[in-house]
Amino acid sequence: MAEKWEFTKETPRRIAVYGKAGIGKSITSGHLSAALSQMGETVIQVGCDPKRDSVALLCHEIKPTILEQFKMVDAETEEPVEMSEELLDKVIFKGFNDVICCEAGGPRPGIGCAGRGVLVAIQLLEDFNVLERFGITFAIYDVLGDVVCGGFAQPMRAGNAREIYLVTCGEPLTLYITNEIIRAVRRTNGEGIEVGVAGLIDNQRLMPHETEIVEAYAERVGVPIIDHVPRSVKVQEAEASGMTVIEAFPDSDQAQVYRRLAKKVLENKYVYLPDPMSGMDEILQLAREFIAK
């Protein structure tokens, strides 16, 4: 039976969004940020991914990163420039509805450790009191799908975010990665760090029996589903314009879906320590139980 406890809602509230690469973490995070800002929260979204595309829809473009600023070199002396509040603020931007946006960034492909970059960037935000200075009430850390590296696990390990949301769907490979992230949460919690999974966000892919498969998985591991997010062409249409659905189509059904999701996250007060399934074989068996019907 999964352990459950009520957490103290501190200000700023800090959550981390994890999930398989390509499942829609950044889309989900961006829409949560947009909706929460309309609910009166002062939101920061921190992109923890070398692709630096987390805040693109909020800012309408790809933005320079914290790591790029951190690695600046003086043109005359060729010595590293010491990081300062002024320099850091140059890579912190205001996006849709004044959401504060920044990207951790990473090394050039094939060079360096991306996880280390995330760790350094998050620490700089703490060292320069960014959340306090901007009056943040709700912080969202949008984290790269692979949490094998300690850098990507930094938001949960360092206490930056004790409330984890897992974006998933009914595809077995996605559920497998979800399961592995649950293992990472349990391992981190076992080290004495108070972190738990608040719930699953089912970002649907229109596969057969998807709702039933995700619900069955959630019941097996002992964690609630926060919401089922239906696939909608409005998301792609808004993305083509460089915007969230909430900005591009504020009166659409899909915008209401994301507002409903944000309300559920805002009102949530519990986290869980789920029991992961044994592995891929068990997950495949669960999926077959529904697909064979």
Distance of alpha carbon 137 from alpha carbon 13, whole angstroms: 6
Beta-carbon-side half-sphere exposure of residue 44 (alpha carbons within 13 Å): 28
Average pLDDT of the residues of the chain: 90
The contacts of residue 186 (CB under 8 Å, 6+ apart) are 273, 274, 276
- The answer to whether 288 touches 204, Cβ cutoff 8 Å, is no
Kindly report the pTM of this predicted structure. Answer: 0.94
Which domains can be identified in the chain, with CATH numbers? Answer: 13-291 (3.40.50.300)
8-17 pLDDT, tens per residue? Answer: 888 999 999 9
Half-sphere exposure of 68 (CA within 13 A, CB side): 14
CA torsion through residues 267, 199, 4, 146, sign: negative
Strand extents, DSSP E, the chain: 3-6, 13-19, 43-48, 93-94, 100-103, 138-143, 163-168, 196-203, 225-229, 270-273
The answer to whether the CB of 45 falls within 8 A of the CB of 36 is no
Q: What is the pLDDT of residues 162-183, one digit of tens each?
A: 899 999 999 999 999 999 999 9
pLDDT in tens, 200-246: 999 999 999 999 999 999 999 999 999 999 999 999 999 999 999 99
The residues assigned a catalytic role are 20, 25, 51, 146
What residue has token string 């399934």? 277
pLDDT band at residue 7, thresholds of 50, 70 and 90?
Answer: confident
In which band, very low, low, confident or very high, does the pLDDT at 254 lie, cut at 50, 70 and 90? Answer: very high
Nearest by Cα to 165 from 43, 15, 10, 36: 15
